[in-house]
């Protein structure tokens, strides 16, 4: 009976399992096959090329047969739904092939750490030179090899010297008459002291009452014998160096800091010292000295630490590395090394921007500061929280170059504006933006006040303040701004002010297009309903539409048609979409 129940249970289990397998084969398998087939078709429709050799085309990923670089997908024409040459879009699947990864740029609130190579050196404060204080010959040499440890007071050598023997005889003779001639006795003792004999040695000579031509040279401190300048039998003269002894209880660690990192290092900073030859061994030191002179051969300066030599593990000449935490307590924006492409004076990063449902990156030129272990410090051009590409950056740049966008190999042209004209022009634009915002706020009194300020600044700047190739251009824009301001200030109501605001804006837009935005990104906006639907432009310091031609009546009417970036000229202009945006 028990066996029959077991057989029935096994039979039902097999039926249920077989049904599940059949269902997967009929339905799940077909869905799986459809997904694989869709991916294969998608890959089959994709063509791959080389960024350096665009003539290379093949139907599957791989490496270029000419240069060996990894091939990138050829983007379709509809991958670029915008005309801004700073922007490049790609489908999400392309990012997987190119292994593109992004991260947000963040500020580091503690000072960035710097890793520097160096070597151990003798602490010069712990080094003692032992010299000859009288002429003679090395009769016996006890400290006969370098590296041995010397105790303070130990005899290093015996010097044969007739001169010191004569001084001893004078002391013995003077000692016999010291009661009657004390000054002669003191003079004889002082002469031997000048020969660097100790009081104990002098007392022994008096007590013995016999002069000797041999005198011992004693160590003045404990330490290691790091220099032996004489051999047994050598003749020495007064002042000649005989030995050098150094205590290695404290040593110096001398580091090489490149000129781009020197300003991050200051005396007093703590440093962690590591010995490559002894992994896991770490010492702590303090920055004591930063060399004010740069080595012209290596473009580096010497940074010196004083380190307590625990267990005498640090040996002079040993190679070490040290990590110093920079003395920069202000938060600094630091980005990874892999996110930066170099173009010379400036560097390039790709900033991810929201654009439809595609992966869109903006070509951005930034200024970098010193290199740290965490990455490059960003001086300007990037803000905290912006998302940048940190992997696959070269693939993005190569694909952008193939599509005619700005790239590392084809950066935008820049116009350098000389001072003081640049500062004056920046103030002119700032006042124009204040005037524009007052019109958008329907505030005629504020707008008039900014118009007067703009007129005063224009007179201060003058029509002949910019020399060179753009001299005539600025004169034309100066006259256009001046004429528009006269009409603007003569108007007695808001509607009258908005009429000359159009030619005023055109002059500022042309100036920004030719000379580039100053220290910022500016936006050219278009409203199609101005002047009986003929439309008009204005320049804004932000992307949000705040219409100065209609104010509150149609504040959101308009669209951005052009982006002007710092110093960049010759930008392709987008044609406005003639739709009413309210």
Predicted TM-score (pTM) of the model is 0.53
What is the rounded CA–CA span in Å between residue 440 and residue 433? Answer: 10
CA dihedral in degrees (135, 136, 142, 143; nearest 10)?
40
Cβ of 43: how many Cβ atoms within 10 Å?
A: 15
**Where a domain ends, among 272, 296, 325?**
325
- Burial track 306-327 (b if 16+ CB lie within 10 A, e otherwise): ebebeeeebebebebebebbbe
What is the rounded CA–CA span in Å between residue 516 and residue 509? Answer: 10
Domain assignment present for residue 393? The answer is: no
Looking at the fold, whether 240 and 257 belong to one and the same domain comes out as no
Segment holding 175, helix H or strand E: helix 162-176
- Residue-level pLDDT at 420: 92
Looking at the fold, whether 272 and 199 belong to one and the same domain comes out as no
- Residue-level pLDDT at 511: 93
- Residue-level pLDDT at 89: 84
**Nearest CA among 475, 121, 78, 44 for reference residue 285:** 121
Check which CATH number belongs to the domain holding 316 and give it. Answer: 2.40.30.170
Length of the chain: 582
- Residue-level pLDDT at 258: 87
Q: Show contacts of 311-315: CB within 8 Å, 24+ apart.
A: 312/248, 313/275, 313/278, 313/281, 313/283, 314/120, 314/248, 314/251, 314/253, 314/273, 314/275, 314/283, 315/120, 315/248
Check which CATH number belongs to the domain holding 454 and give it. Answer: 1.20.120
In SS3 terms, 218-279 reads as ECCCCEEEEEECCCCCCEECCCCEEEEEECCCEEEEEEEEECCCHHHCCCCCEEEEECCCCC
What is the rounded CA–CA span in Å between residue 546 and residue 434? Answer: 12
Report residue 164 CA to chain centroid gap.
65
**Where a domain ends, among 258, 291, 325?**
325
Looking at the fold, whether 211 and 237 belong to one and the same domain comes out as yes
Evaluate the CA torsion angle 286, 289, 291, 297 in order and state its sign. Answer: negative
What is the rounded CA–CA span in Å between residue 391 and residue 217? Answer: 68
Looking at the fold, whether 197 and 236 belong to one and the same domain comes out as yes
Domain assignment present for residue 192? The answer is: yes
**Where a domain ends, among 246, 270, 288?**
246
Evaluate the CA torsion angle 149, 151, 152, 154 in order and state its sign. Answer: negative
Report residue 445 CA to chain centroid gap.
48
Give the tens place of pLDDT for each residue, 189-198: 888 888 888 8
- Residue-level pLDDT at 549: 96
- Residue-level pLDDT at 311: 87
**Nearest CA among 230, 224, 192, 229 for reference residue 211:** 192
Structural domain including 295 reads 250-325
- Residue-level pLDDT at 110: 55
What is the rounded CA–CA span in Å between residue 322 and residue 422? Answer: 44
Query: How many domains does the chain contain in total?
Result: 3
- Residue-level pLDDT at 376: 86
Looking at the fold, whether 143 and 241 belong to one and the same domain comes out as yes
What is the rounded CA–CA span in Å between residue 116 and residue 403? Answer: 42
What is the rounded CA–CA span in Å between residue 281 and residue 48? Answer: 51
Domain assignment present for residue 458? The answer is: yes
Looking at the fold, whether 526 and 427 belong to one and the same domain comes out as yes
Looking at the fold, whether 226 and 321 belong to one and the same domain comes out as no
Q: Report whether the peptide linkage leading into residue 420 is cis, meaning its omega lies within 30 degrees of zero.
A: yes
Domain assignment present for residue 202? The answer is: yes
Looking at the fold, whether 289 and 226 belong to one and the same domain comes out as no
Residue in the structure block whose two tokens are 């124009």: 432
What is the rounded CA–CA span in Å between residue 341 and residue 101? Answer: 15
Looking at the fold, whether 309 and 228 belong to one and the same domain comes out as no
Looking at the fold, whether 188 and 304 belong to one and the same domain comes out as no
What is the rounded CA–CA span in Å between residue 138 and residue 230? Answer: 8
Looking at the fold, whether 205 and 151 belong to one and the same domain comes out as yes
Task: Identify whether the C-beta of residue 333 lies closer than 8 Å to the C-beta of residue 369.
Answer: no
Cβ of 187: how many Cβ atoms within 10 Å?
A: 13
- What are the Cα distances from residue 56, in Å, to 65, 99, 157, 535? 8, 21, 81, 47
- DSSP 8-state assignment for residue 416: P
Domain assignment present for residue 474? The answer is: yes
Task: Identify whether the C-beta of residue 205 lies closer than 8 Å to the C-beta of residue 192.
Answer: yes
What is the rounded CA–CA span in Å between residue 80 and residue 574? Answer: 13
Under-50 pLDDT residues of the chain: 1-3, 5, 9-10, 12, 14-15, 17-19, 21-44, 77-81, 570-582
Residue in the structure block whose two tokens are 């912006």: 386
Domain assignment present for residue 522? The answer is: yes
Check which CATH number belongs to the domain holding 160 and give it. Answer: 2.40.50.100
Looking at the fold, whether 270 and 318 belong to one and the same domain comes out as yes
Domain assignment present for residue 187? The answer is: yes
Domain assignment present for residue 465? The answer is: yes
- Residue-level pLDDT at 387: 93
- DSSP 8-state assignment for residue 568: B
């Amino acid at each position: 009976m028990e066996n029959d129940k077991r057989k029935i249970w096994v039979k039902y289990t097999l039926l249920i399992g077989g049904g599940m397998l059949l269902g997967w084969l009929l339905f799940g398998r077909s869905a799986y096959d459809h997904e694989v087939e869709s991916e294969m078709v998608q890959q089959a429709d994709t063509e791959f090329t080389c960024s350096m050799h665009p003539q290379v085309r093949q139907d599957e990923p791989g490496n270029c047969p000419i240069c060996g670089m990894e091939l990138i997908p050829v983007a379709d024409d509809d991958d670029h739904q915008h005309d801004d040459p700073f922007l490049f879009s790609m489908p999400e699947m392309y990012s997987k092939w190119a292994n593109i990864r992004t991260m947000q740029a963040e500020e580091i609130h503690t000072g960035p750490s710097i890793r520097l190579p160096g070597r151990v050196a003798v602490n010069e404060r712990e080094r003692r030179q032992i010299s000859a204080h009288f002429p003679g010959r090395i009769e016996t040499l006890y400290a006969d090899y370098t590296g041995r440890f010397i105790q303070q007071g130990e005899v290093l050598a015996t010097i044969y010297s007739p001169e010191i023997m004569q001084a001893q005889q004078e002391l013995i003779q003077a000692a016999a008459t010291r009661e009657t001639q004390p000054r002669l006795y003191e003079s004889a003792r002082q002469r031997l002291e000048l020969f660097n004999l100790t009081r104990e040695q002098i007392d022994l000579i008096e007590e013995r009452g016999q002069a000797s031509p041999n005198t011992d040279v004693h160590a003045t401190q404990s330490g290691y014998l790091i220099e032996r300048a004489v051999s047994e039998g050598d003749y020495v003269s007064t002042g000649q160096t005989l030995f050098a002894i150094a205590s290695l209880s404290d040593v110096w660690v001398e580091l090489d800091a490149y000129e781009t990192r020197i300003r991050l290092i200051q005396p007093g900073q703590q440093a962690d010292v590591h010995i490559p030859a002894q992994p896991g061994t770490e010492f702590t030191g303090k920055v004591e000295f930063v060399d004010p002179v740069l080595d012209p051969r290596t473009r580096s300066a010497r940074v010196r630490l004083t380190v307590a030599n625990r267990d005498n593990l640090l040996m002079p000449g040993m190679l070490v590395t040290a990590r110093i935490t920079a003395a920069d307590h202000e938060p600094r924006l630091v980005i990874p090394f892999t996110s930066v492409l170099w173009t010379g004076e400036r560097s390039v990063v790709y900033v991810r921007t929201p654009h439809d449902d595609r992966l869109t990156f903006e070509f951005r030129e930034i200024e970098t500061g010193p290199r740290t272990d965490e990455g490059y410090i960003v001086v300007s051009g990037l803000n905290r929280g912006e998302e940048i590409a940190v992997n696959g950056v070269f693939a993005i740049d190569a694909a952008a170059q193939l599509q005619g966008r700005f790239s590392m190999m084809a950066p935008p042209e820049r116009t350098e504006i000389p001072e003081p004209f640049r500062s004056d022009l920046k103030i002119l634009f700032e006042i124009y933006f204040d005037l524009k915002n007052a019109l958008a706020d329907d505030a005629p009194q504020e707008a008039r006040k900014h118009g007067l300020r703009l007129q005063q600044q224009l007179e201060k700047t003058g029509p002949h303040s910019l020399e060179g190739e753009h001299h005539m251009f600025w004169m034309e824009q100066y006259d256009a701004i001046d004429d528009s301001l006269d009409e603007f200030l003569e108007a007695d109501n808001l509607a009258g002010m908005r009429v000359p605001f159009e030619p005023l804006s055109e002059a500022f837009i042309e100036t920004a297009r030719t000379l580039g935005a100053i220290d910022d990104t500016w936006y050219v906006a278009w409203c199609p309903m101005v002047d009986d639907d003929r439309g008009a432009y204005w320049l804004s310091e932000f992307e949000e539409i705040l219409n100065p031609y209609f104010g509150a009546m149609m504040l959101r009417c308009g669209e951005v048609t052009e982006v002007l970036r710092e110093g960049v000229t010759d930008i392709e202009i987008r044609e406005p979409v003639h739709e009413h945006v309210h």
